Amino acid sequence: MISKPKKKKKKNRPVSKAREIFKAITLVLIIGAALRAFVIQPFRAPDSAMQNALYNGDFLLVSKLSYMNEKPKQGDLIVFTHPLRNSQKLVRRIVAIEGETVEVSGKKVYVNGAPLQDFETTLHSDYRILPVEFSGRDYMASLQVPSGSVFVLGDNRDKAEDSRSFGCVPVGSIDGKGLFVYFSWTPDPNAPKLKPPYIIPAIELFFYNIYNFPSRVRWDRLFI
């Protein structure tokens, strides 16, 4: 009787180290993308409109879940889409919510007829009070915040574009609530600029930032 040849058992090939690393990196990227889309979002303060709360170059961590179970309230720091420029994101502070009235008279803000107590970070960088004929910065007629909207101001009241100019912000355009500054980077006008063909300037910028990293980081503003 002729015996059948035995089938060779397939040996489990060891998974290469490179493949394991690739899978790990892919998983991290997927988790990171999911967190950014649904949970948290980083935002960099582009100017001094929120000084003293945020300085130009501060990186703010924003919670996208804060308003799932609660409504925006006075004092909240929010990131939102500019009501007139959909491609631009801003960070400002809520001073009034739907149904409340807001008025600005001689730099002083009134909510429901009562003077608004300045926040700890409120800044007036210009002592002048400009007549309403020349600017809407220091005077604004009484306005009632519409349903589903909030009224926002920059903490740096004299150098901020906010609801005094573009009106109230729809709650639906709010990305989230600011939590804390996790990193801060001093802007440097002497740093190399990214411009075509980009490759060489990108390399120059990388090494420039590495060399100047210790002096450009605002160490006292990390995680505040």
3-state class (DSSP) for residue 170: strand
Per the structure, the count of domains in the chain is 2
Residues 49 and 138 both lie in one domain: yes
- Residue 12 falls within a domain, yes or no? no
Residues 112 and 208 both lie in one domain: no
Strand partners, 56: none
Residues 201 and 91 both lie in one domain: no
- Residue 14 falls within a domain, yes or no? no
C-alpha torsion angle, residues 129, 134, 135, 140 (rounded to 10): 80
Residues 78 and 180 both lie in one domain: yes
Instruction: Write phi, then psi, for 181 (nearest 5 degrees).
Output: -85, 120
3-state class (DSSP) for residue 26: helix
String of DSSP letters for 138-184: SEEEEEEPPTTEEEEE-SBGGG--SHHHH--EEGGGEEEEEEEEEEE
Query: What's the pLDDT at 182?
Result: 95
Residues 202 and 148 both lie in one domain: no
Strand partners, 180: 61
Residues 179 and 197 both lie in one domain: no
- Residue 20 falls within a domain, yes or no? no
Query: What's the pLDDT at 24?
Result: 67
Per-residue pLDDT of the chain in tens (224 residues, 90 and over written 9): 555 556 555 555 555 777 777 666 666 666 556 555 557 899 999 999 999 999 999 999 999 999 988 999 999 999 999 999 999 999 999 999 999 999 999 999 999 999 999 999 999 999 999 998 888 999 999 999 999 999 999 999 999 999 999 999 999 999 999 999 999 999 998 888 888 877 888 888 899 989 999 999 999 999 99
The CATH number that applies at residue 172 is 2.10.109.10
d(CA 106, CA 80): 27
- Residue 139 falls within a domain, yes or no? yes
d(CA 94, CA 87): 21
Residues 105 and 141 both lie in one domain: yes
Question: What's the Cα-to-Cα distance from 75 to each of 31, 46, 95, 117, 211, rounded to whole Å?
Answer: 31, 21, 6, 11, 39
Residues 83 and 174 both lie in one domain: yes
Residues 142 and 95 both lie in one domain: yes
Residues 90 and 149 both lie in one domain: yes
Rg, the chain, Cα only: 26
The strand order across the sheet containing 139-144 reads 114-115, 108-111, 101-105, 139-144
Return the DSSP state at 217: B
- Residue 23 falls within a domain, yes or no? no
Residues 108, 110, 113: CA angle, nearest 5 degrees: 140
- Residue 88 falls within a domain, yes or no? yes
Domain holding 116, by residue range, is: 42-184
d(CA 62, CA 5): 66
Query: What's the pLDDT at 121?
Result: 95
Query: What's the pLDDT at 93?
Result: 98
Residues 201 and 97 both lie in one domain: no
- Residue 13 falls within a domain, yes or no? no
Residues 97 and 148 both lie in one domain: yes
